[in-house]
Amino acid sequence: MAGVGCEGLMNDTTETTVALVACSGILGGLIRGCVGGRADMTVVDMPVVDEATAGDPGDLAHRLRRLAPDVVVWQFDSDALLEQRPEFFGVTGGFPIIAIIDDGRGSALWRLLPQRTTLDAPSFDTLVDTIHAVTAPSEENRSCQ
C-alpha cells in the first residue's frame, strides 16, 4: 500500500469508521487487531459473505449504506467481484473499499464508479496509512487518486 504516495497522512482530528467485511481466519484477526487497536478508528464487523455471490449483494450494500462507514476493508480471494457489483459504489452514499487479496499478499483500493488502484502487499502501517489517505478531505488526498 505504500505505493499510494500518501504515507504518514494522518486524520487525527476525527474518528474514522471502518467496516470489516469477510475478515476471517488468521489474516482477518490481524486486520481486526491492527485497525481495532487504534484510538482514531471505530471498527464495525459485517457478517461473512459468500464471495462467489456476495451473499445478497443488495442487502449488504444497503446495510453498508445505512452504516455509512468512512471506508470498508474487505478480505477476498479475488476482488474481481467488485467490478460486477456497482451497488457498492456511487456518488451518493459510496465509500472506498480496500480489498485485501491473495491471502494478504496483495491489496487494492476501489473507489467510485468503480475505480481500482493497485496497492502493494498490505502491512499494519500501510493499511492504516491507506485508511487515513482515503478518508482525508478531498484536497488532501488528490495525490492518492
46 in a structural domain: yes
19 in a structural domain: no
Choice among 53-57, 64-68, 120-124, 134-138 with the minimum mean pLDDT: 53-57
According to the model, what pLDDT value does residue 140 have?
44
* Global model pTM greater than 0.85: no
9 in a structural domain: no
What is the tally of structural domains in the chain?
1
According to the model, what pLDDT value does residue 78 have?
78
Q: Which residue range is the domain that position 67 belongs to?
A: 31-136
145 in a structural domain: no
The C-alpha atoms of residue 58 and residue 42 are separated, in whole angstroms, by 24
Name which residue leads in pLDDT, 93 or 83: 83
Q: Using CB atoms within 10 A of its CB, is residue 6 exposed (0-12), middle (13-18) or buried (19+)?
A: buried
Give the pLDDT band (50/70/90) at residue 48: low
* Share above pLDDT 90 across residues of the chain, in percent, rounded to a whole number: 30
